[in-house]
Structure 1
Amino acid sequence: MGQTIVLTGMVLSAVPVGEYDKRITLLTKERGKISAFVRRARRPGSQMMAACSPFSFGQFEVYEGRSSYTVIKGEISNYFRELARNLDNACYGFYFLELADYYARENTDEIHMLKLLYQSLRALEKESLENRLVRRIFELKTLVINGEYPNVFSCLNCGREEELHWFSTRRGGTLCGRCGQQGAAVPLNASTLYAMQYIITSDIEKLYTFILSPEILENLEKIMDEYLAVYVERNFHALQILEENDSLMASVPVSRKTGEHPDENQQLQ
């Protein structure tokens, strides 16, 4: 016999099934990642239409059958509608959903991944935070939660904890000034090192409380790009769109957060 349970979670993805139904992927606090059917979700006027859209966060009442879940009711506390108003923010948000989907598993404790996802989407909505930095914080903390993060606290060759001036993707972490000269490694700025150590050790609620200079952010981006290319075996669709969009945005003087031209802002004031 099946039973009805209430799960707290976020919709990671949704695909149409048949004429009116949907199948959604939920990241939940209680059951990890699950797949569930939503009957008549695509029927005009359905109360479940908005509740089964990506980014929707809240409580979902589901019927647990022998081999599948069916969503009966959804009480959404945050739809993250602000993300949909800006293509750049939306692309970052969908990338975060994809990365969470990649790592999450059913019947595992995903409370930290869910909390990180929620806080990171909120960070994308903040004007004061650069989306590029939010992305790197999210990526590194995701690796921490899933036990695949690099060692940035000592030299992987000699164990030294000082003068960690190099990062080796192949070795999976930092090398000191002497050991880093012996093989392929990326120069590691002291501020970049501190930022990575802070992200790894800090509580999720305290992650998005700092900014980085362009130079340090570029150093962090280079390190994370190389590390993820080796240790994450998937191409993310949203990331491809994001990178294409970034290439276009680089040639246009547009604010990433608002999507408005600077001159237009001045005229409106």
Structure 2
Amino acid sequence: MSRTSVTEALILRASRVGEYHKQLLLLTPDAGLVKALAFGAFKGKSRLVSASDPYSHARVHLYRNPVRDLFKVSDIEVIHTYEGLRNDLERSYAAALLSEVLASSYAGGGPDYRYPFGLLRRTLWYLETGDRREGRRGVFQFLLRFLLHSGFLGAPGECGRCGTGFGPFDEVLFDSRDGELICTACSVEGALPVSAGVRRYMEGAMKFPLSQALEIGIDDSLEQGLVDLLRELLQGTLNLQLKSFEIYFGIPVS
């Protein structure tokens, strides 16, 4: 196997190592999450300084040390920087949340990482170019689509226990132990009530293209229901305690 490779990547994190270097966490469409060291990326004159900032979309040249099984960044060709995400506090919190979910869940565990890679790339573009309400809808769509695609969240059309199909106005329950929506007949202690509106919004994330789904309006009641469901799923089912989730959804959208 070749020690050198070139991959398209989105930079999820960049942390300082020593005085001059960066440890990058990359999301790639083929290998999923890859950690790579960018030597000199904190030196003022290095071309890696700005190219290795979080959320950048780039073509990354990697060298793998087979003895230590470590990756080193030898070059980065920037495709898009998403500078608008880093220059706006709310947008940066949104991007941090998406990155943290991917990092904490191993990008869904594979084997096909093209879906989360493409979904993140498109969502970052909507976050950068849209207004705050469009950005909030983009975050909801990303989380629902990623969690549904990865199997962390059961299909919203039928009970995850008995298989009974839900009617369009049925209120259902969420069982965090299994990550499934269940009917009232299969109710278990501690299950979270989920409104018909929240469930239909989830179905829209499965049926409609992202651009079309982002046009669906979200009122305060629907937003709170989505936040409650996603918090229960991330914390109860996946056992992820994400600070970025509470920070981002604690920001009111005007």
TM-score greater than 0.5 by the shorter chain: yes
Q: Which amino acid aligns with 1:9?
A: A
- After the TM superposition, which of the residue ranges 206-215 and 146-155 deviates more from structure 2? 206-215
**Rounded Cα–Cα distance in structure 2 between residues aligned with 1:197 and 1:235:** 26
Q: Which runs of 5+ in 2 are unaligned?
A: none
Partner residue of 1:173? 180
**Rounded Cα–Cα distance in structure 2 between residues aligned with 1:182 and 1:232:** 19
- After the TM superposition, which of the residue ranges 215-224 and 60-69 deviates more from structure 2? 215-224
Conserved 8 A contact 1:56-1:76: yes
**Rounded Cα–Cα distance in structure 2 between residues aligned with 1:43 and 1:183:** 56
Conserved 8 A contact 1:91-1:241: yes
Q: SS at the partner of 1:234?
A: coil
Q: SS at the partner of 2:235?
A: helix
1:149 aligns with 2:156: no
Judged with a 3 Å threshold, the aligned counterparts in structure 2 of structure 1 residues 183 and 157 are, in CA distance, closer, same or farther, namely: farther
Conserved 8 A contact 2:17-2:23: yes
Identity %: 21
- The alpha carbon displacement at 1:52 in A equals 1.1
| TM-score under structure 2 length normalisation | 0.84
- The alpha carbon displacement at 1:84 in A equals 1.7
Partner residue of 1:266? none
1:233 to 239, 242, 250: 239
- The alpha carbon displacement at 1:182 in A equals 7.2
Where in structure 2 are the equivalents of 1:54-203 lying within 5 Å?
Answer: 54-66=54-66, 67-104=69-106, 108-125=111-128, 126-127=130-131, 129-163=133-167, 164-170=170-176, 172-176=179-183, 179=185, 184-203=190-209
Q: Which runs of 5+ in 1 are unaligned?
A: 257-269
Partner residue of 1:263? none
Partner residue of 1:6? 6
- After the TM superposition, which of the residue ranges 82-91 and 222-231 deviates more from structure 2? 222-231
The count of corresponding residues between Structure 1 and Structure 2 is 247
- After the TM superposition, which of the residue ranges 66-75 and 203-212 deviates more from structure 2? 203-212
**Rounded Cα–Cα distance in structure 2 between residues aligned with 1:173 and 1:103:** 18
- The alpha carbon displacement at 1:93 in A equals 0.8
Conserved 8 A contact 1:141-1:199: yes
